[in-house]
Structure 1
Amino acid sequence: MIQKLLSYLIPIKIFKKKSARSKVIEVTWTNGELVLDTENTNYSYGSLQRILRYGLRNIGYDKILEMEHILLLGVAGGSVVKTLIDEIHYKGKITGVEIDPDMIQVANEYFNLNQIEQLEIVIDDAFEFVLKTKDKYDLIIIDIFEDINMPNFLFENFFSDRVCFHLKSGGFVLFNTMILDEAHNIRNRKYISEINPKLYTSKMLPRIEVHNELIIIEKVA
């Protein structure tokens, strides 16, 4: 494909759509691969896929292969789903929660998300979903952004406690955060400090991308 080859020289935009939730959704050929972006940041594939792959590798592919049910809060184009299935060869169930139906429509059309049998997509607000779900999960991936902003509720104790409540014993949370200024550094350190060390271990991974910091929580009790 000529667009794919040309993308090694210059990004080739092939789709752009306005969205009520995400403002603008774009699909672009970049360095030989399709990526999904919003106006100011990468949403799926590209650098984001590298970031979440790094987090999954830190948890351990061997542990992930033994998991039965993974919850993904924030689906976008589904790059982490592709990492789980195509690279790790995960065979269990994945539930993906995405608030923007336009994003899922684009993900289905350009990234074939609707062809993944073990993936269930739920169009819902992540906050509402964790209040309603009765399930327990081996891994909960939080990857929620509104362009370059992160909703405040993600860092509130109530939401954090509710997410951790839905972990099985020995389960993990992988939380992708964006750091744009010192206030965000302080926010992340505060978030980590408020996790109960009697029930959970937590750590921040060294950054591999300038503006993203991964937090991993493991339920030990």
Structure 2
Amino acid sequence: MIQKFFSYIIPIKIFKKKSARSKVIEVTWANGELVLDSENTNYSYGSLQRILRYGLRNIGYQNILDMNHILLLGVAGGSVVKTLVDEVEFKGKITGVEIDSEMIKVANQFFNLNKINQLEVVIEDAFEFVLKTKEQYDLIIIDIFEDIKMPNFLFESFFSNRVCSLLKNQGFILFNTMILDEAHNIRNRKYISEINPEMFTTKMLPRIEAHNELIIIEKVA
């Protein structure tokens, strides 16, 4: 494909759509691969896929293979789902929660997300889903952005305590955050300080792809 070839020289935009939730959704050929972007940041594939792959490797692919049910808060184009299915070869169930139905339509059209049989996509606000779900999960991936902004509720202790309560024993949370200024550094450290150290261990993987910091929480008790 000629667009793929030339994308090694310059990114080639092939699709652009306005969305009430995400403002702008773009699909671009970049360095030989299709990526999904918002107006100012990468939403799926490209750098985001590298970031979350790094987090999954830190948890350990073998640990993930032994899991039964993974919850993904924030699906976008589904690059982390592809990593789990194609690279980790995870065989269990994946529940993906995405607030933007337009994003899922684009993911189905360009990235064949609807071809992944073990994935169930729920169109709902992540906060509402977390409050209602009765399931327990082996791994919860939090990857929620509104362009370059992160909703405040993600860092509130009520939400983090609720998410932690959904983990099975020896379960993990992988939380992708963006650090653009010192206030964000302070926010992340406050978030970690409020996690119960008697039940959970926490670690940070800082400065991945320039502006991202991963927080990994493991339930140990």
Give the TM-score band, short-chain normalised: over 0.9
Q: Tell me the SS of whatever aligns to 2:54.
A: helix
* Deviation by residue 1:119-173 (Cα, 9 ceiling, x = unmatched): 0000000000000000000000000000000000000000000000000000000
Q: Tell me the SS of whatever aligns to 2:103.
A: helix
- The equivalences for 1:99-178 within 5 A come to 99-178=99-178
Name the aligned partner's letter for residue 62 of structure 1. Q
User: 2-side partners of 1:209 and 1:14: how far apart?
Assistant: 24
Cα RMSD, aligned residues only: 0.4
Match of 1:20 in 2: 20
How many residues were matched structurally? 221
After superposing on structure 2, the runs of 4+ consecutive aligned residues of structure 1 that deviate more than 6 Å are none
Structure 2-normalised TM-score?
0.99
Name the aligned partner's letter for residue 18 of structure 2. K
User: 2-side partners of 1:135 and 1:14: how far apart?
Assistant: 39
Displacement of 1:202 after TM fit? Answer: 0.3
Match of 2:214 in 1: 214
User: 2-side partners of 1:7 and 1:39: how far apart?
Assistant: 19
Unaligned runs of 5+ in 2: none
User: 2-side partners of 1:6 and 1:187: how far apart?
Assistant: 41
User: 1-side partners of 2:209 and 2:58: how far apart?
Assistant: 15
Name the aligned partner's letter for residue 13 of structure 1. K
Match of 2:9 in 1: 9
Name the aligned partner's letter for residue 184 of structure 1. H
Q: Tell me the SS of whatever aligns to 1:95.
A: strand
Percent identity over the alignment? 83
* Deviation by residue 1:34-70 (Cα, 9 ceiling, x = unmatched): 0000000000000000000000000000000000000
Q: Tell me the SS of whatever aligns to 2:207.
A: coil
CA contact 2:206–2:212 (8 Å) conserved in 1? no
